[in-house]
Structure 1
Amino acid sequence: MRPGRFQEFVIDLARNSPTATQVRTLAEAGDTEIPCGIAITTAAGVSRWGIVGQLPDGAKHGGFDDAPVHGDPVAPGDAPQAADVPEAWLAALLAHSESPEIASVERWSVREDARPDSFGVTVRFHNTARVFMRLL
């Protein structure tokens, strides 16, 4: 899933979540330096996320059509809670989407080699593409 389509997907999910009070693109929030990203407000505050994508293995930008590849969705786990830290909230939101395109959702802060100042989520798709969402 390309970053633009993924951004729209996350915006739709977040706007339909009872735990989000405001959802905007970064451009709508006044940040025009980052081409793709979102700002989400929950009870924990505003979190701003930059979105970057990686094409599927072996794909080239020219001619890539971003056709969805479906597989088993990620196990949903706990639903996002309004007071969750932003990274946990976003990961739960994505897992709860039960999208057949998403193969896995990985939080950066809980990885074995996690840096204490790095928060984000890697979303892997069944077509081997990836999206990286970094907390700004």
Structure 2
Amino acid sequence: NPTALAGMNATLDILINDRERVYGHLHAIANAMVSGMRGIFAEHGVPASITQAGPMWGVTLGDEEPATSYRRVLAGDTHALERLRRACQARGVYMRGSGLGRFFASTAHTKTEVDRSLEAIAEAAGVVKEALAGSRRGA
């Protein structure tokens, strides 16, 4: 498809020719999200591990031990993560992520999206804490 190839070439040109600005922006967005989420979860007493690699970050709920292996990630509470996603979506913030809680910054994201996302996460923190408490009771 020539249109898709033209779009790919234009994207690669931007990434190559304006690398510092583009990746600086991606890292700044991810850093703001990670810092904000860590603060929100700590403030609300939600046990969470948030790891970051550049513009990608992972959220593992239910344990504060760093999820630095696949096994640690799998040990996270996926039910609580799904509750977080749904609560955020109900507040107008779509959190794509994977079933394993991986998220990515985009060049389209701005401080406005970060602030709105963190606001929704803060509002949803109670739902997450409740889901985690329910998981522990059922275990």
Category of TM-score, reference length = shorter chain: 0.3 to 0.5
> How high is the TM-score relative to the length of structure 2?
0.32
Larger radius of gyration: 2
Compare the two structures and name the one with the higher helix fraction. Answer: 2
> How high is the TM-score relative to the length of structure 1?
0.32
